[in-house]
Amino acid sequence: MRDLSGDHRWMSLNTATVRKQGALLDIIEACARHGIRAIDPWRDQVAATGIERAAKAIRDAGLALSGYCRGGMFTADAARRIEARDDNRRAVDEAKTLGAACLVLVAGGLPQYSRPGSTPSKDIAAAQAQVEDGIAELFDYARTAGMALAIEPLHPMTAADRACVNTMRQALDLCDRIDPARSGMLGVALDVYHVWWDFELMAQIERAGPRRLLAFHVCDWLVPTADTVNDRGMMGDGIIDIPRIRAAVEAQGFGGCVEVEIFSNRWWSAPMDEVLATAIARMKTAV
């Protein structure tokens, strides 16, 4: 297990963590001030800046991209499936332009939430099947482009409206069916917030191995949790034993960034420099 207590060279900042405090270029400048060497930007932030300008700013700042957020939302009614497919192909192309390590995939929940306007459905099994078809189709495109896809299992409380892939077992089952050769181009993004509770977590991390562990995200679970989306905690403020999960991931050979991703009404209301300074300090003591 790497020693993170001395510096934050392995830290990446998911830019949603400070999305309310500034635009992408502001965030990139703040990373330079704080010696943060990697980020994971979101598509809407990149689009607002312009992708060529964003790519240049990232290059000029010498930032690595631990991932690109996000592709997915595969669940749609028939009228919106081509739109979803093409949207995901553009996400692959953007990730390639930006030099991201992987494109993070959030599956989508029921179609009326993932692709608004879609015919309402309660069929979660159909949604899950559609996600599998969508990932398989995108995988062909992404492999040709040379862009790895990282399926992020999201917490089951998001299953209806955000993602119907909710456990490491489920995500790895998909990987095994779509990429049985374990090419290294399809794997998972493990966010401790989503999977810490799972009695099978350690076994599934071992099952994943280095070829499937493509990204590692941290924040913390607060008790109580006031909002199912935007009440994530700063590392150390909650009840997740983050070092235990990181040890298991690194024991499999994972050597990538530790990405801080905090959706939080509380932290979005703090100054950007305070959020980054706190995250850096917690990386050394609570991760």
Positions touching a copy of itself (CB under 8 A) are 110, 113, 122-125, 128, 155-157, 159-161, 164-167, 169-170, 173, 196-200, 202, 221, 223-225, 228, 239-241
Quick one: CA dihedral 125, 129, 130, 134, positive or negative?
positive
- Nearest distance in Å: CB 197, a copy of itself: 4
Single out the residue of 106, 109, 105 nearest to residue 147, CA to CA: 105
Using the minimum distance from each CB to a copy of itself, give the nearer residue, 123 or 206: 123
Q: Are 31 and 58 in contact (CB under 8 A)?
A: no
Using the minimum distance from each CB to a copy of itself, give the nearer residue, 78 or 223: 223
Backbone angles phi, psi at 120, to 5 degrees: -60, 145
Q: How far apart are CA 108 and CA 8, in angstroms?
A: 33
CA distances from 57 to 28, 42, 61, 245, 285 (A): 7, 15, 6, 33, 31
Backbone angles phi, psi at 211, to 5 degrees: -75, -20
Single out the residue of 218, 226, 223, 224 nearest to residue 266, CA to CA: 226
Tell me the β-bridge partners of 104.
69, 150
- Nearest distance in Å: CB 159, a copy of itself: 4
Using the minimum distance from each CB to a copy of itself, give the nearer residue, 15 or 128: 128
Using the minimum distance from each CB to a copy of itself, give the nearer residue, 145 or 202: 202
Using the minimum distance from each CB to a copy of itself, give the nearer residue, 181 or 223: 223
Using the minimum distance from each CB to a copy of itself, give the nearer residue, 30 or 163: 163
- Nearest distance in Å: CB 228, a copy of itself: 6
- Nearest distance in Å: CB 265, a copy of itself: 14
Using the minimum distance from each CB to a copy of itself, give the nearer residue, 94 or 152: 152
CA distances from 211 to 39, 87, 186, 206 (A): 22, 26, 8, 11
| DSSP secondary structure, 212-224, as one string | HEEEEEE-B--SS
- Nearest distance in Å: CB 161, a copy of itself: 5
Backbone angles phi, psi at 216, to 5 degrees: -135, 115
Using the minimum distance from each CB to a copy of itself, give the nearer residue, 14 or 166: 166
Length of the chain: 287
- Nearest distance in Å: CB 264, a copy of itself: 16
Q: How far apart are CA 16 and CA 210, in angstroms?
A: 26
- Nearest distance in Å: CB 223, a copy of itself: 5
Single out the residue of 132, 56, 135 nearest to residue 103, CA to CA: 135
- Nearest distance in Å: CB 128, a copy of itself: 5
